[in-house]
A and B are shown apart, each in its own frame.
Chain A
Amino acid sequence: SQQGEEDPQALSIQEGENATMNCSYKTSINNLQWYRQNSGRGLVHLILIRSNEREKHSGRLRVTLDTSKKSSSLLITASRAADTASYFCATDAGGSGNTGKLIFGQGTTLQVKP
């Protein structure tokens, strides 16, 4: 079952511009994570934001979380060609207990043109 829905599905920008990707989910969560995947390779963990947090930063990345709207956004500032990849949000199953299961969205494909 799909928990997260990413928007847009694809995004093409010029180097130096900012990129914003959005994620919506359906049920309550304990945390939300963002990952990057370069073509055909593994996932790189970017940021984990807990349900009681509203914003987190890591370098050029900024993640926001709005639990009332069940949505999150990932902002990449001053994009580089090397940021070209697919970006996924993933939520835990929420509720009590730790299920170990992450539920992924379908991802946003970002292309940064040099």
Chain B
Amino acid sequence: EAGVTQSPTHLIKTRGQQATLRCSPISGHTSVYWYQQALGLGLQFLLWYDEGEERNRGNFPPRFSGRQFPNYSSELNVNALELEDSALYLCASSLGGVGNQPQHFGDGTRLSIL
């Protein structure tokens, strides 16, 4: 069974640009989660999508946005990039609709802002 896949592996951008990160969940999983792992800040929850809808959002500015497609894959968009957006962005998936489900993570996209 294929795990969560993320692309690209690395992304280099400059300040002010926009970045798009992609995630494909494990087959059968309808929930997708996004987390940011920045140096010194740990793993921070960004967004949760389930059945195409945004279900919850972490404490991040509106320039962090995303969507979930009918096939349950997801995109994270970061607009007006700032230096502090440099981080490893991790996507996870789980069976949707119920709690107490493990979240399974991909290998992440490392975003570097120059």
Task: Report if A42-B42 is in contact (Cβ < 8 Å); known contacts: A98-B99, A100-B56.
Answer: no
Inter-chain contact A42/B108, CB cutoff 8 Å:
yes
**Residues on A with beta carbons closer than 8 Å to the beta carbon of B58:** 101
- A98-B98, A101-B56 are contacts. A42–B43 as well, Cβ < 8 Å? no
Contact A42 B45 (CB under 8 A): no
Cβ-defined contact, B56 with A42, below 8 A: no
- Is A20 in the interface zone, CB < 8 Å from B? no
Q: 1/0 per position for A39-74, CB-CB distance to B under 8 A?
A: 011111100101000000000000000000000000
Q: Interface residues of B: mostly helix, strand, loop or mixed?
A: strand
Counting residue pairs across A and B whose Cβ atoms lie within 8 Å, the total is 61
**A99 nearest CB neighbor, chain B only:** B56
Q: For the complex formed, measure the closest distance between the CB of B26 and the CB atoms of chain A, giving whole angstroms.
A: 11
CB-CB contacts below 8 Å: B1-57 with A:
4, 6, 31, 33, 35, 42-43, 45, 48, 50, 55-56
Q: Assess the B105–A101 pair: CB atoms within 8 A.
A: no
Chain A interface, number of residues (Cβ within 8 angstroms): 27
Inter-chain contact B107/A41, CB cutoff 8 Å: yes
B contact residues, total (Cβ < 8 Å)? 28
Name which residue of chain A comes closest to B31, CB basis: A100
| A48, A103, A105: the one within 8 Å of B45 (CB) | A103
Q: Say yes or no: A104 contacts B99, CB within 8 Å.
A: no
Report 28 cross-chain contacts, Cβ distance below 8 Å, ordered by A residue.
A2-B42, A31-B100, A33-B102, A33-B103, A41-B107, A42-B106, A42-B108, A43-B90, A43-B92, A44-B105, A45-B104, A45-B105, A48-B102, A50-B100, A88-B43, A90-B43, A99-B56, A100-B31, A100-B45, A100-B50, A101-B45, A101-B56, A102-B33, A102-B103, A103-B45, A104-B42, A104-B43, A107-B42
